[in-house]
């Protein structure tokens, strides 16, 4: 995986977004959910679905994580004009799960690193994904979620990011 100068600049942006989301008040929460409902209702339905699978405090942290992704992409005109669909997300999730399945069978550490790096090289939002991984490794509430469930959530977050990248980069 190559880390570019752009990634370093993005790190500052991601840090600011995380600070903003970690300190949101009810008014800003309502603004974000209203925007998501208007522009990306499927994303909001994903969040609502998570509430049945997690304790309230865990769900709150997962909401913040999705808000970080939304805040990162929300100004992109394509994100505001083309909706994420269940089929789009399923296609990306299937690809990511297939890659994980392949990695399970690989025992060579150098090859694991090579494959993982290749997978991440296409990602323009590496810093965003890194920030989310960092949250899951440092937020006490997220750290208490069992590792299998955390991995599933993180694959989902990576897939959402990749979907938004695809939508955001489409030519009109």
The pLDDT of residue 26: 93
Residue 172 banded pLDDT, cuts 50, 70, 90: low
Range of the domain at 128: 5-169
Residue 3 banded pLDDT, cuts 50, 70, 90: low
Residue 2 banded pLDDT, cuts 50, 70, 90: low
- Phi, psi (rounded to 5 degrees) for 109: -60, -40
Coil, helix or strand for 123? coil
CA distance 92 to 162: 7
CB atoms within 10 A of CB 86: 10
CA distance 153 to 53: 11
CA distance 105 to 26: 46
CA distance 122 to 145: 29
- The answer to whether the CB of 126 falls within 8 A of the CB of 7 is yes
> What is the arithmetic mean of pLDDT over 13-30?
94
Condensed to tens digits (0 to 9), the pLDDT of residues 33-64 reads: 999 999 999 999 999 988 889 999 999 999 99
- The answer to whether the CB of 150 falls within 8 A of the CB of 31 is no
The pLDDT of residue 103: 79
Domain tally for the chain? 1
Condensed to tens digits (0 to 9), the pLDDT of residues 62-98 reads: 999 999 999 999 999 999 999 999 999 999 999 999 8
């Amino acid at each position: 995986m190559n880390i570019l100068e752009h990634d370093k600049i993005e790190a500052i942006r991601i840090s600011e977004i995380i600070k903003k989301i970690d300190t949101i008040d009810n008014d800003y929460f309502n603004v974000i959910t209203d925007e998501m409902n208007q522009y990306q209702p499927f994303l909001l339905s994903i969040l609502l679905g998570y509430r049945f699978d997690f304790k309230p405090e865990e769900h709150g942290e997962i909401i913040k994580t999705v808000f970080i992704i939304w805040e990162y992409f929300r100004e992109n005109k394509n994100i505001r004009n083309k909706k994420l669909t269940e089929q789009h997300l399923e296609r990306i999730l299937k690809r990511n799960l297939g890659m994980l399945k392949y990695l399970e069978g690989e025992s060579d550490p150098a090859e694991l690193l090579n494959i993982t790096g290749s997978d991440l090289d296409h990602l323009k939002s590496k810093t965003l994904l890194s920030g989310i991984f960092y949250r899951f490794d440092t937020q006490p509430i997220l750290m208490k979620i069992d590792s299998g469930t955390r991995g599933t959530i993180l694959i989902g977050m990576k897939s959402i990011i990749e979907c938004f990248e695809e939508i955001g980069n489409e030519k009109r």
